[in-house]
A and B are shown apart, each in its own frame.
Chain A
Amino acid sequence: DAGVIQSPRHEVTEMGQEVTLRCKPISGHDYLFWYRQTMMRGLELLIYFNNNVPIDDSGMPEDRFSAKMPNASFSTLKIQPSEPRDSAVYFCASSSWDRARSEKLFFGSGTQLSVL
């Protein structure tokens, strides 16, 4: 099992540009989460999906952020337009609804985003 795969690992862009982050969850997992990590705010939940359907997007900071999950093996987080304060590490995580493992989140290695 390759685990959760995120791309790109690093993204440097200029303010105002569109940024798209990608995630491939673990096969068979039916929950997918997007988190953002900064020194100031720690690890914050942005949005999560169940069976490709967005369940809770209350953590999405503004309308500039959007997330999609067109199928069970792919999700994107888009920022348009990007701003310097969006600079952070963005993590994707997946999990499976299984009483033995439902508390466990499997994280990808993250995308380090720098907006200049």
Chain B
Amino acid sequence: QKEVEQDPGPLSVPEGAIVSLNCTYSNSAFQYFMWYRQYSRKGPELLMYTYSSGNKEDGRFTAQVDKSSKYISLFIRDSQPSDSATYLCAMKTGGFKTIFGAGTRLFVKA
């Protein structure tokens, strides 16, 4: 079993839809939870970061962490074609070793 599980998709939605992406994990020592966005032929870029449990909102993006269920989510409101990318969840303990999910490919159709 992988430490971090993420459905690779692809996920296709119409413009303006609410997108829900999620990951599950097995290591209860994870404390830092991140979402990276990766455009084609580019490196991943940090999109959202959350420490421990709770919610964090940044514009159209909301990240949620439920440590009791070992489940994290990213919601995108009013999705745009420019949101089309691969979204990778990432986690780490207090150290520097970041573990990534497989990534979910998202397509937002105009």
State the A residues within 8 Å of B (CB): 4, 31, 33, 35, 42-45, 48, 50, 55-56, 91, 93, 95, 102-105, 107-110
Contact = CB atoms under 8 A, between A and B. Distances in A.
A109 B102 contact: no
A108 B98 CA distance: 16
B43 A4 contact: yes
Contact of B41 (A48, A95, A109): A109
27 contacts: A31-B96, A33-B98, A35-B100, A42-B101, A42-B103, A43-B44, A43-B88, A43-B103, A45-B99, A50-B96, A55-B96, A93-B43, A102-B96, A103-B32, A103-B34, A103-B46, A103-B49, A103-B51, A103-B92, A103-B98, A104-B49, A105-B36, A105-B44, A105-B98, A109-B41, A109-B42, A110-B41
B88 A105 contact: no
B43 A45 contact: no
Chain B's interface size range is: 20 to 34
B50 to A, nearest CB: 9
A92 B44 CA distance: 11
A56 B44 contact: no
Contact of A107 (B44, B49, B92): B44
B60 interface: no
B57 interface: no
A62 to B, nearest CB: 20
B43 A109 contact: yes
Given A42-B102, A105-B98, 8 more contacts: A42-B103, A55-B96, A56-B97, A95-B96, A103-B51, A107-B44, A108-B43, A109-B41
A44 B99 CA distance: 7
Contacts of A102: 96
B45 interface: yes
Contacts of A108: 43
Nearest to A112: B41
